[in-house]
Structures are given as C-alpha cells and as structure tokens.
Amino acid sequence: MKLVNPDQGMLYYIIEKKRPDIAKKIKETGTIETIVVGLGRQGMRHAELMQQYGTIITAGIAPGRGGTRLLETIPIYDNIKECLREHPNIAVASIWRHYSTAKDATIEIIETGIPVVVLISEGIPIKDVRDILVAARKHKTLLIGGNTPGIILPPEGIKAGMLPDVFYPEEISSEKFGPKGVTIISRSGAILYHLSDALASVGIAQNAVIGVGGDGAIGSTFRDLVPLAMEYKNTDLVVVAGEIGGCQEELLAKDIKKNPTKYQKPIVTLISGAHAPEGKTMGHAGAIVSPGLDYGTFQSKKQALESVGVPVVNSQYDLITEVKKKLNNKTYFNIENYYKKMKTVWDSPSKKSGWGTLITKVMPNNLLISGYPLQDIVEKKSFLETAYLLVKGEFPDKKTLEKMRKIAIDAAKLPVPKIKRLKNEDISKTLVKYFVLDEELVQFPEEGTDGAVKKTIFCLGRTARYLSRILDTEKALKQMADNEPFSHVIYRVITGNLKVNEQHSKMIEAMIVACVDHGVTPPSAQATIIAASTRTPYEVAVAHGVGAITDVHGGAGAKAAQFFDECIIKSQKENIDVAQAARKIMKTYIESGKRIEGLGHRLHTKDPRRDVLWNFASKTGIDGKHVQLSKKVSTIFEQVRGMSLPINVDGVIGAIVADMDLNPAMAKALFIYGRIAGLSAHYFEECASQPRMRQINFAEAIYKGKESRKI
C-alpha cells in the first residue's frame, strides 16, 4: 500500500504553521527529516524501530560521539549546530536524554528553530521544565512531553517516539492509504494501544496519535492540541483520552465554552480512573486526585466536559459506540486488512543477522561506489574526488577539492622516514614499513566532521612520496609546483619524468581509480576491517590491508603485463601473428600448470572497468599491440583451452602498463595505490558504525548506501 505524500499529512500541516521555509523544502524533496537526540539504550533501540516504521532519521546527536554512525548509516554529531550545518532542514527532534541533562539538550534544540520537539525524557525537575517551556513559547515550538510515548502519523508512515506499529490509516483504494481519520490525543501511552485496537476493530482509522505526556508539567496540553488537530482538514473527530488528576480536561472544557469556534468538529472523551481513591497516585505525576478539591476527579472532569457538549465515556465499548454515532457509522478501511496487518507484524520472523556498509555495492558486472557506477567514476572523476567520495559518500565541490589537493601536495613534499628495503622485497611489504614508521602520518589529526577524509587525502599524498623513494623518482617529484594537479604528481612518481605527458597522466590516474575498491570481501579490505574492529590506529590498519596485497591478491596485473610482453616479443622474434604467438605461449603455460593472469573473475563475466579503460587507452593513444592483444586474449584462450574466461581489470591494466613501456611491477603499484583509498574508507566506516571487537562474518555484509545514480 502506498503511503500518503508527506506534504498531505497532519505533521506537514503543523510544520507549515511553525516553519513555512522548512515546509517548502519538504514539498520539494518529499521528505520530512528528523533527528534523535540522546543515544543511550532507549534512544538507540527506538531509533531503529522508528526507521523500520518509515521515519527518515537524518542524524543523531550525542556529545563525544561525533563522526560515528547510528544504525550503521546515520551520521552522529556532537551538537545540533554541527548537525544543522550539514542538514539545515530538520523538522522534528525526539529527545531521549536522561532527566539530569534533558533541559540543556531540549533548550538547545528549541533555540535552533526546529518546529516540532518530542520530549521523551521523564522525571525532569519542575524548575527545568519551566525553563524549557519558556524557550518553547519564545520560539513558537510545538513541544510534546516530557514523559511522552511520542507521536505517530499512520498515513505518512512517520513516528517520533516509542509508539508501536498498531495504528491503522484510511484506505482510499486497494493500493493507497488516505489522510482522513480520527486523531487520538492521550495523557497515557498504554491506553493509546487499546483505543487504537478498539477503533480499528470497527474500521475507524487514525490519522494522528499524540501522547501529550504524563508528567505534572508538560509542553502542549489538550487545550493546545485539540484545536490544532481540528484545524487540519482531514481530521473528522478527536478522541481525548484523559485520566484523573490535574486539570487538563477541565481547562479544555473551559476553553471550549469560551472559544467554541475553535472546536468545530466532534470530540469524544474517555476518562480513566473513575474508581480511584482520593490522594492515590495512579501511575503518572499528574494522575492524582487532590482531597477536598473540585477538580482532578473523574466526576469533576465528566461534569465539566459534558457541560459543553462533549460526551465522556469510561470504557472502550462505550467509546466505540459514541465515536460511531458521531461519525454516522462511517468506516475507513476493510477491517480484515487491519487484522492481516497485525498478524503480519506479530508473526514476522526474527531479524536476520547482518551488518551494513555504505561504500561499495558489488554486483555481477557492476560496481557502485556510493551509488555511482565505478566505470563512470573512472571516466569522469579524479583520484582525489574518488577518495573523497569513498569516505564521505558524495563528491567534493570545487572549493573543497582544492583544499584536498593542497593537503595531498603538502603531504607529498614531506620527507619520508629512513627504512631499509631488502633485495627483491615486495612493494607492499616496503609500504607497510613506511606506514607504521611515518610520524607525519601518525600525528596527522583525524578528528572533526572532515577529519577522516583529510587523513585519507594526507595518506594518499604520503604514499606518493613513499612510492617515489621506492621507485627512485624523488628527483621528478621535487620539481612539482604548488598549483599542480595531483594527477601530475602521480605521473612524476610512476614515470620519473620531469615533463608531464598529459595523456599518460590521465591514463595512469584512470587505472588507479579503477582499483579503489571491490567491497568488503577482498583480503585487503578484510584485514583492514578486522584491525579497525580493535580500534587499531589508522596507519596500522591500512598497513594490515596493504600487507595482504600479495602476488595472490593484487599481483595479477604485473603478471598479465609480463604475459602480454612475452607474446609480443615472441611474435616479433618469430615473425608470426601476435594471436599465433599468444596461442603457443598459452599452450606452454597450460602444459606446465602455470596460471595465465588477468583472465576470469569470481563474480564478473564482463568486468565493468574493462571497457572504460580500453576507451581511455584509445583516447590517449596508448592502445598499442599489448592493448589490442588484450581485446582478443579471451577468444584465444577459449580456442586453446576450451574455456570461456573474460579478461578482467588486472589484465587490461597489465596491457596498458606494457604499452606505456612501464615496468610490469607498476601494475601492482597502481593497484595498491588505488586500493589505499578504499581501505581508508573501510577503516573509518568500521570505527564509526560498528561495535568494537565484533565477530565479523563478511558474507553477511549488506550494502545500505545510495542506490544507482548518475554523475
């Protein structure tokens, strides 16, 4: 069933009265954004239930936890000001702070102008409530609570608080819900569930349910909320669920008598506690009958409301009878649908185990980085932009990108620690030494909203410097200018050339970008994530991942380059066709049990990065004999071996590296360099969104990021 559009529901109506600017944004985006303030056990648990119900939780607020994530996907900020800088259209806040800190948190939220504040916290001292109420009135905030179970809007599928999914909206067709119904406003949370079931059992829908709160002093009372509900055009009747104690019901009756034009729609009231003894507290701070006074009793409330024409009942049966009478026996939905829904809710299986990642969605023949196809990123975006996307989930704007470039350039200028590289030492092992011994990298800060991405970019700059030392190209790197694109820095590092070949520079960067990430299952990602789960320092965790990039994982490109080079040399020496030379070498490989690298993939039958790299090679004039052979090698292999193995990204990179006349080992260097960006993203995601020392089943990872979108 399709829910009501957010701009057609009661919550939107309230927001529009309070903050027309936010209402305008809701109309444009179709989204009502909410935040959760206070992420203790209750806040965390109910945030998950609110999200499952359909509420859009944009952010969480928890001092000291800024930079982490709620429910793996929702950013957490230290305070509301930081949050609103990133998300300026927050319309609803639910507050779950302990009563001792609830005042400051609530006033801070109110003063930002968020129009609807639902104060779940209970037991807040009266003097603190006084200050909260003053702030709410000053800023014209709709404050619900404290000690409220919250609000729920069934037609829109939105709730803020702890009300369960037992309320049912109008059905206007077999496929769509409607906005009309009865609004329930109650002092008690528990009684709301019974009222809902009673009304739903005779086909009466609820368009909004509001728990005003059970403490002695609260933000919005019946006198505030009943007229507000009646102003909304799709409310047909208001059910007021009161109880003994306090004088909310008497004040409502007084206001009805004084301002009858505010109450143009029917009201039915249910009052609980008819048989409570005087002076006995009945659950809530406000639910106490004061001895000798003529208010707060069942009789005083009943008399006051009936004197202004509002029927008062004391049972669910009488409530149903009275509401049906007021609505002329109108029904809003097929009752069987309500019972089917409730059966589905109660019979639903336990939640399957799993954990989420926002970074990369890996599918057969497709890779999405935060929703963007990797092949499109390779074609249109730089390495620094891609690294930023991996960590932040969006591409940087021009101003931010320039800041990132400067960080990377400055990092590349700094000298590297002195280490001893053994003869024939694998490049990944050498890089591990640099990571763990580089004090510049260790000391670079990673706090704040942009701390993770700045650290990543700094690391990429440092890695350029490490590679220049390993490849003996530092002389070329020292010639770089402060305003140079970072792609030129990479070119200098890889080639050692002082003069930049722009086409080759673009090609090298494209190959690096093609390697940035392949989800959480590759060994390098797993190694980094496991290290991150113990909160190992960034540089150590990334070193774990880089150390796992061996000839088995990450070395295929270099071996593919060697294979293609061998084929070309044989063709030239024997003066035979390249394809014929490839067949001969393949047969030799097969007979000796040697693997032909760069062919086949555990997931892709057509590697999504293949064509974009071939096209890049063509555009940049690098599609020589090696690249041309790479386009035929799968067919040749099938002819020789009788098996269909498509060429993968390693094979294509190996061919391009060979055509650029680079050392075959450069293919692995490019793979490692690109993958460092992805490993960084996995490190920060693990630290931000997952508990420490968790047991990790990588097969249970679920992509929860953006779905497919265009650059």
pLDDT digits (tens, 9 = 90+) for 193-219: 888 889 999 999 999 999 999 888 999
pTM of the model: 0.86
Collect all residues with Cβ–Cβ distance below 8 Å to 425 and sequence separation of at least 6: none
Judge whether 284 counts as a catalytic residue. yes
Q: What is the 3-state secondary structure (H, E, C) of 477-510?
A: HCCCCCCCCHHHHHHHHHHCCCCCCHHHHHHHHH
User: Cβ of 163: how many Cβ atoms within 10 Å?
Assistant: 25
- Class of CATH domain 556-659: mainly alpha
Quickly count: other Cβ atoms within 10 Å of residue 490's Cβ: 25
Is residue 687 scored above 90 in pLDDT? yes
Question: Do the two domains 32-147 and 148-351 of this chain adopt the same fold?
Answer: yes
Rounded to whole angstroms, the maximal C-alpha distance in the chain is 115
Choose which CATH entry (3.30.70.360, 1.10.580.10, 1.10.10.10, 1.10.287.130) describes domain 359-550+666-703. Answer: 1.10.580.10
Can you give the pLDDT at residue 288?
47
Q: What mean pLDDT is predicted for residues 164-188?
A: 94
148-351 CATH choice from 3.40.50.261, 3.20.20.70, 3.30.470.20, 3.10.450.50: 3.40.50.261
Contacts of 626 (CB under 8 A, 6+ apart): 561, 564, 565, 568, 654, 655, 656, 658, 659
Least confident of 102-116, 336-350, 516-530: 336-350
| pLDDT confidence tier of residue 280, bands split at 50, 70 and 90 | low
Pairing assessment for the beta strands 74-77 and 69-70 based on DSSP bridges: antiparallel
pLDDT over 90 at 281, yes or no = no
Q: Where are the domains of the chain?
A: 32-147, 148-351, 359-550+666-703, 556-659
Asked if the model's pLDDT at residue 293 lies above 50, the reply is no
Task: Take residue 666 and report the two structure tokens written for it.
Answer: 């450069």
Cis check: omega of the bond before 496, within 30 degrees of 0: no
pLDDT band at 285 (very low <50, low <70, confident <90, very high): very low
Q: DSSP assignment, residue 252?
A: H
pLDDT band at 282 (very low <50, low <70, confident <90, very high): low
Section 622-641 average pLDDT: 93
Please report which helix (H) or strand (E) contains residue 562, including its range: helix 556-574
Domain made up of 32-147: CATH architecture: 3-Layer(aba) Sandwich (3.40)
Q: Which of 139, 284, 504, 601 is catalytic?
A: 284
Average pLDDT, the chain: 93
